[in-house]
Amino acid sequence: MTDLVESTDEALVLACRLGDDAAWEEMVKRYQRLVFSIPRRAGLDEAVSADVFQHVFSTLLNKLDQIKDPSKVRSWLITTAKRETWRVSRQQTATISIELDDQDENGIDLPDEKPLPDEVIQRLEDQQLVRIALAELGDPCRQLLEMLFYTPVAQSYDSIAEQLRIPVGSIGPMRIRCLQKLRIVLGRMGY
């Protein structure tokens, strides 16, 4: 495979089944944020979330040949991450005892033990799809959209124009074209 970043999920799974290490790396890279975010959103700490992440990808590696529809590997990963998160959460709540300090009764921040709502999972899936589509756009569209929508502090058009080496007046029309391209890429992905 020459360009794994633009590969479909199905193509990645098929390449992974053939032992392609680069395809496996791309699979992990593509879904690492999504899988890791599920236990974190459920209130698990970073170390336990890393264990969930490891379990999910180990299970995927062991069950690659059993996945009936490789194009739905994203859904498989989400379901597996949710199940493992719930299993670990139940296990933790069954074994952890909390001792309250008389002086700090209100200072305890317990995670919500309810399962993740479907809306949160859908939002995480949507964010992952947009990240994949952005990677397919390439520069300068990817750069512009990341500067406009993915920076923690909003950048001025002057700053963006300087970084991209384009006139300030070009940013608006370029943004429109880039968003149209993004919409097309997302449409090809079935979104």
pLDDT at 88: 85
Spatial distance between the Cα atoms of 20 and 98, rounded to a whole number of angstroms = 47
61 or 107: which leads in pLDDT: 61
Yes or no: say if 10 and 70 are a contact pair by the CB < 8 Å rule. yes
pLDDT for 18 equals: 92
What is the distance between the terminal CA atoms of the chain, rounded to a whole angstrom?
24
pTM of the entire structure? 0.56
Q: What is the pLDDT of residues 8-17, one digit of tens each?
A: 889 999 999 9
Confidence label for 1 from pLDDT (cuts 50, 70 and 90) = very low
| Tokens matching residue 79 | 């379901």
Tokens of 6: 């633009």
Amino acid at residue number 23: A
Measured distance CA(182)–CA(166) in Å, rounded: 20
Both tokens of 50, joined, read: 């890393």
Task: For residue 130, give every residue at least 6 positions away whose Cβ sits within 8 Å of its Cβ, in sequence order, or none.
Answer: 182, 186
| Residue with the two structure tokens 């995480």 | 124
Query: How far apart are alpha carbons 46 and 165 in whole angstroms?
Result: 39
pLDDT at 106 over 80: no
| Distance between CA atoms of residues 15 and 168, nearest Å | 44
Segments of 6-103 assigned E as strands = none
Tokens 């690492």 found at: 32
Query: Which residues touch 72 (CB under 8 Å, ≥6 apart)?
Result: 9
